[in-house]
Amino acid sequence: MSAQMIEISYREAVREAIREALNRDPRVFLMGEDVGRYGGCYAVSKGLYDEFGPERIRDAPLSEAGFTGAGIGAALGGLRPIVEVMTVNFSLLALDQIVNNAATLRHMSGGQFSVPLVIRMACGAGKQLAAQHSHSLEGWYAHVPGIKVLAPATLEDARGMLWSALEDPDPVVIFEHVMLYNRSGQLAADAGAVPIEGAAVRREGGDVTLITYGGSLFKTLEAADTLAADGIAAEVIDLRCLRPLDDATLMASVARTHRAVIIDEGWRSGSLAAEISARLMEQAFWELDAPVGRVCSAEVPIPYPKHLEDAAVPQTDDIVAAARAVLNR
């Protein structure tokens, strides 16, 4: 009964999701810098301009606040915009619109207006793009009530989260880690929408829970392989959705393993990892058999040279070491 599988990259999966959305709903359009003729900074929208034309694959000038705000206005006006902000660093120029408008309009209007907007952006380090193009600021966004924050790591999620996000009546921010775009794998040819809530257990194990998301998922799964070779069974949880967080899945896992390590490419101070650690203390303290461990980025702007960039962000060896530390093995 297995569906027909196709070989596909993460980039193509996102593109297929956008194409499907454009075909399914005439209210959907893609707007952002160089999404059209250029084909997208990360080539995600390559070919869509020719297929759907300039009205629905809308090149915007370099004005992040302007076109993100216009996306919010268009959502208020009845459309279902997908705003692509080239990378998370540029989204800081649109932060006012996202935090002060998208996240608040429903509340400020006493429930009269919803903002059915999807904002996609690339994030993360690993391509030697240096300090202004390597941020992991997902945790900042996840801090803000009124928006939902997604981090698809797998092909299924890259393919399936967009449509669910577009169907959601509230603003959804989707983070696509730059190191995932080239990852390829098998995906069911008829893969479709997936829920945009809840974490997923990507690997089961009883000794330690490794909690991660986005670009760190595959490093964490690799670490779990290494640990398995030494007889340590690590459970790997992919958060998928960074706001709201799926506490139940995390607590259930830690209640089994009694140990947790959080892997988060954000800087440690005030990070999403800090939030999760606090929740484990609040809700699973009496289950813990060791202090919660964290593997986060070093507290430096991400440097340009490869060896320093590698040293700055979580790597498989760091994850293995952190897991061993909480197990004292």
Partner 1 sequence: MSRLYRMPSLGSDMEAGTLIEWVRQPGDRLAKGDVIAVIETQKGAIEVEVFHDAVMGRPLIQVGDKVPVGSPMAELEDASAAPALRPATGIPATHAPEPGPAVAEAGTRTSERIADQAGHRIGHRAGTGTAAQRRRASPAARRLADARGIALDAIEGSGPRGAVVLADVHAATGTTPTTEAASPPRGHLDLAAMRQAIAAAMSRSKREIPHYYLSHDIDLTAATDWLTARNAQLPPDQRLLLGALLIKAVALSLDKFPELNGFDRDGHFEPAQGVHIGCATAIRGGGLVAPALHDADQLQLPTLMTRLRDLVGRVRSGGLRASELSDPTITVSSLGERGVDRLYGIIYPPQVAIVGFGTPALRPWVQDGQVVPRNIVTATLSADHRHSDGHRGALFLARVGQRLQEPDTL
Partner 2 sequence: MSIRETDGDHSHLGDKLHLDRAHALHLLREMLRIRQFEERCAELYTEEKIRGFLHLYTGEEAIAVGVMQGLTGSDAVVATYREHGHAIARGLPMTRLMAEMYGKREGVSRGRGGSMHVFDADSRFYGGNAIVGGGLPLAVGLALADRLLGRAQVTACFFGEGAAAEGAFHESLNLAALWQLPVLFVCENNLYAMGTALERSESETAIARKAESYRIPAAAVDGMDVIAIEAAARRALAEIRAGGGPRFLECRTYRFRAHSMFDAQLYRDKAEVEAWKQKGPLLRFRQWLQEAGMLSAAEVEHLEAEVAEEVAAAVAFAEAGQWEPVEDLARDVYTEQPA
| Residue numbers at the binding site for partner 1 (CB under 8 A) | 206, 248, 251-252, 255-256, 258, 283-291, 325-326, 328
Q: Is 91 a residue that touches partner 2 (CB under 8 A)?
A: no
How many Cβ atoms from other residues are within 10 Å of residue 143's Cβ? 16
Check the CA dihedral 79-12-302-217 and report its sign.
positive
Out of 8, 14, 74, 118, which residue is the one contacting partner 2 (CB under 8 A)? 74
Contacted entry of partner 1, partner 2, none for residue 305, CB cut-off 5 to 8 Å set by kind: none
- In the set 24, 37, 107, 329, which binds partner 2 (CB under 8 A)? 107
Task: Name the active-site residue from 20, 64, 138, 275.
Answer: 64
Q: How far apart are CA 186 and CA 118, in angstroms?
A: 26
Region from 91-99, 229-237, 249-257, 272-280 binding partner 2, contact rule CB under 8 A: 91-99
**Residue 215 one-letter amino acid:** G
Size, binding site for partner 2 by CB under 8 A: 42
Residue 53 near partner 2 by CB under 8 A? no
Shortest distance in whole angstroms from residue 282 CB to partner 1: 10
Give yes or no for residue 2 binding partner 2 (CB under 8 A): no
DSSP state, residue 99: I
Site string for partner 2, 4-43 (x = CB under 8 A): -----------------------x-x--------------
Quick one: which segment of 112-120, 180-188, 226-234, 304-312 binds partner 2 (CB under 8 A)?
A: 112-120
Q: Which residues pair with 235 in a beta bridge?
A: 209
Token pair 């981090």 in the structure block, residue = 151
Work out the number of other CB atoms within 10 angstroms of the CB of residue 203. 16
Annotation marks residue 177 as catalytic: no
* 84 is annotated as an active-site residue: no
Question: Which listed range, 73-81, 183-191, 192-200, 257-265, lies at the site for partner 2 (CB under 8 A)?
Answer: 73-81
Per CB under 8 A, the list member of 66, 126, 185, 198 interacting with partner 2 is: 66
Measured from the CB of residue 230, what is the shortest distance to partner 2 in angstroms?
Answer: 44
| Crossing angle for the helix pair 217-229 and 316-327, to the nearest 10 degrees | 50
Query: Residue-wise over 214-225: b if at least 16 C-beta within 10 A, else e?
Result: bbbbbbbbebbe
Residue 146 contact among partner 2, partner 1, none, beta carbon within 5 to 8 Å by kind: partner 2
Question: Which residue blocks in the chain are alpha helix, DSSP H?
Answer: 10-24, 48-52, 64-76, 88-91, 95, 105-108, 138-142, 155-167, 217-229, 247-257, 272-284, 306-312, 316-327
C-alpha to C-alpha distance for 311 and 131, rounded to whole angstroms: 14
Angle formed at CA 156 by CA 150 and CA 160, multiple of 5 degrees: 60
Catalytic residue among 12, 84, 133, 177: 133
Shortest reach from residue 76's CB to partner 2, in Å: 6
Alpha-carbon span 173 to 35, nearest angstrom = 17
Which one of partner 2, partner 1, none interacts with residue 72, CB within 5 to 8 A by kind? partner 2
Number of CB atoms found within 10 A of residue 188's CB? 15
Give catalytic residue positions.
64, 133
Judged by the rule CB under 8 A, the positions of this chain that interact with partner 2 are: 27, 29, 55, 60-61, 63, 65-79, 81, 93, 96-97, 100-101, 105-114, 145-146, 148, 169-170
